[in-house]
Every structure is written in C-alpha cells, then in structure tokens.
Amino acid sequence: MPDQAPKNVIIAGGTTGMGRATALARLARGDTVTVIGSSEAKGHALLTEAATDRLRFLRADLSSTAEVERVIDWIGERHQRVDALGLFANRVNRRRRETAEGLEYTFALYYLSRYLLSYRLRPLLEASPAPVIVNVAGVGFTGGAISWDDPQLTSGYGLMRAQLQAGRANDLLGVAFARRAASRARYVLYHPGFTRSGTDSHENPLVRGTIKTLARFFARPVAESARPIVEWIDAPPAAGLTAIDRGKPVDPSLKTLDPGDADRLADLTEALLART
C-alpha cells in the first residue's frame, strides 16, 4: 500500500518464523522496524539480509520480566510513537524451567512478556493514529486450561500443558486488554494454523525431525501465515478485539474468551508482577 505513511513497528520474537517474515514485509513497505530476540547471531543474520538502517535488532531474553522492562525503556527512549506491536516470542520446554525471577518459563515468555509489552507500551501506541497489537498464539483452540491454583505448574508440568495454558492466557489477555486498557489500540488474537516455522525449537531431535517432515507436507508457508498480520498493520480492524483462527472469525462468546476469566487472570497477573 504505497500511499500509507511509514509505520513504526515493534516485533517481539522476530529473528525467525512469522515474526521475521512480518518484519521483512513491513521493511519492504518502508516502515521502521525493531526486532527483539534472544539470539545475537540470528539478529545479525536478519540485519545482514535486510540491509537497511530502518531495521534495528535488540537482543533481550523476554522470559525475564526485568529484561522486558529494559526493552520497554529502550523503546521509550528512542521512539515517540508505536503504530504496531507484533507478539510472536515463544519456545517449547520439555522439562519445567524457571526464569531469573523464579517463574515457570513458558508462562513468563509466551504470556507474561506479552502482557507487559501490551500494557506498558500503551502510551506510545496512543500516539499513533491507528495503533494495533497482534498477538500470535492459538485462539479458537479449546484444549488446555489455566491452572488457577498453580499457574506456575509446580506439579504435573508437561510441555503441552504449559503451552496450552500460556496460549489460553494470551486469549484472555486480548479480552482483558479490550475491556480494561482504555486504549485506542486494536487488539488482534491470531491463530495462524500449522505453519512451516518454529520447527527448530524442540529439544528432542526425534520430535524435531518428525515435526519438520510433517511441516514439509502439511504446514502453510511462513509468508502466507504472516500475510494477514502485515495487512492488519496497514489497516487495523474496526473492533477493539478481533480473534481470527486460521482465517475465520472466532465467536466472541466461546468459553475460552470468557470475560470473567479474563478479569481473573489480569488480577492474578498484576498480583504476581507486584511480587516480582
């Protein structure tokens, strides 16, 4: 869309996969893009490929709340406005791990970093004429649950349980943000479906190999899954909250988007942040 003014885009988790594809597509449209990732090498590979000073790479471990706060300060010192925030960072863990602040890793990276970035970048988002946040997770999927009594999964940890809990938490983050944040920013929950990305993040080589083979035959190309995100940045949806599962709108009355649960999780999250 050549008649659009260049945007300022922040991509959390953009050194590979859909975040990377979104960053490159937005750079091609003339935007300024900041990509955050934990790997210096992957960040530098992206800088080399993009070959433009409109791309900045910030190395940060988003599983740490202190690091997320540093990222927010870094962005605030360099930008007066954020037009789009893309939330992609995730990593699977076969065994339970704790972060620097003693939180379960998947909860901290996949959910809490997104919570902090969404809420704390609000002032910069408000400065944009058409701000949008796109949270890429698994909206529409009804498996899994929030473990209300033990969100840090201190007992009965499992890779899928942790992923599904954090995915659901992201669904509820979108619902709570649209209800409570008093922001003009449009919140988009996006489930891209099985995509040819993220296949390297499994520690188990057997699982990694199987997923890669399946992805070759059944998954969507990365650019195809990223395309709606690139377009939402140009033209944010009209509604405060939009949920799209593989191209189809998700019924807002779905149990996984329950406003009561969203409020409950937002309160739990604020209490947790007050303690860390």
State yes or no: residue 34 binds ligand NAP (CB under 6 A): no
Residue 187, token pair as written in the block: 């919140």
Compute the distance between CA of residue 188 and CA of residue 236 in angstroms, rounded to an integer.
9
| Residue 187: other Cβ atoms inside 10 A | 26
| Structural Rg of the chain based on CA atoms | 17
Which of positions 40-79 make contact with ligand NAP (CB under 6 A)? 42, 60-63
174 touches ligand NAP (CB under 6 A) = no
Please identify which residue in 22, 25, 27, 37 interacts with ligand NAP, judged by CB under 6 A.
37
Q: Does residue 194 interact with ligand NAP by CB under 6 A?
A: yes
Closest CA to 46 of 74, 19, 76: 19
* Closer of 14 and 236 to ligand NAP (Cβ): 14
Q: Does 140 bind ligand NAP (CB under 6 A)?
A: no
Piece in contact with ligand NAP (CB under 6 A), picked from 69-77, 187-195, 230-238, 260-268:
187-195
Residue 40 Cβ vs ligand NAP, minimum distance, rounded to whole Å: 8
Q: How far apart are the C-alpha atoms of 238 and 13, rounded to whole Å?
A: 26
241-245 and 186-191 beta bridge pairing: parallel
Residues 82-121 within binding reach of ligand NAP (CB under 6 A) = 88-91, 109
**Ramachandran bin of 244, using left for φ above 0, alpha for ψ from -120 to 50, beta for the remaining angles:** beta
Residue numbers at the binding site for ligand NAP (CB under 6 A): 13-19, 36-39, 42, 60-63, 88-91, 109, 136-138, 191-192, 194-195, 197-198, 201
